[in-house]
Structure 1
Amino acid sequence: MTDESTMTTIAPRGLPQKLNGLLHLLDYIPHDLIALISRISIGAVFWQSGQTKVDGWRVAETAVYLFETEYRLPFINPWLAAHLAAFAEHFFPALLVIGFASRLSALALLVMTLVIEIFLYPDAWPTHGTWAVCFLVIIAGGPGRVSMDYFIARYFSRTA
């Protein structure tokens, strides 16, 4: 005869315990990986958008036309807006991908996303929300150890 306490110790784990164990494994996904994927993926989105605004090394006339007719941002000249957008959509994603000035770059692109959401495409909030999460991961948690920011900070912490 076996008593009840012995049976509970050798009984197979139930489904809730197994699911909890599997969910616990997700705690081991490193922030470094999440930040790297966030930086590269959102950087690619903005880089590709920037590519549609340039013709070689110049801002395309079609980009200026788009800012004159469809975008029509308040308080800014369409020519200047097209040039600033083309610059920002190349400069900040490049910094994000290499992980240099990552938090600042993510913040700049988050502000750009807010402008797009508020003034251009307010119905696209699900897409812009997804972008915002990528930026907030980097702003709040940093770019991770696979970044120039990490290596620069590590260098200066050694010399201090």
Structure 2
Amino acid sequence: MVRILILCTGNSARSQMAEALLRRDGAGRVEVVSAGSRPAAAVHPLAIAALAEVDIAWEGRVPRGMDGLEHERWDVVITVCDNAREACPYFPGQPLLVHWGMPDPAEATGSAAERLQVFRVAREVLQRRISALLALPIERLDPAALGEQLTAIGRMP
């Protein structure tokens, strides 16, 4: 099983949605955890709402810090924001470090409906990237080839 860690700053929106989607779609192939360099107090309610629209129940989740995770062995570490990329600690075993940067939907302004739409767009971008990741033979690709593929996936709109 491939172990994937998804990092962002607050672990309240992008990384939580990515973890939820990857858990659902990669069950049996990947073990996934998300965390934040400065975890927020709660998962953003619009992230929970956007996940509920695709039948993922994510209520009750709590943002997690990186404490202890830097001592675990990961095959892939994906950062979804620039701050987490900069704060990315050293991980044993030389995991692939990949950046899938994207705007933070939690910073959206406007009406509740407009802000929810921003979360939907973020969810769909993450879904496309995760689907592309899971279409790869991730268990069999050599690290260099996997790194190239995952970097290219991170550029997908």
TM-score by length of 1: 0.28
Counting helix residues as a fraction of each chain, which structure ranks higher? 1
Q: Of the two, which has the highest radius of gyration? A: 1
TM-score by length of 2: 0.28
Counting strand residues as a fraction of each chain, which structure ranks higher? 2
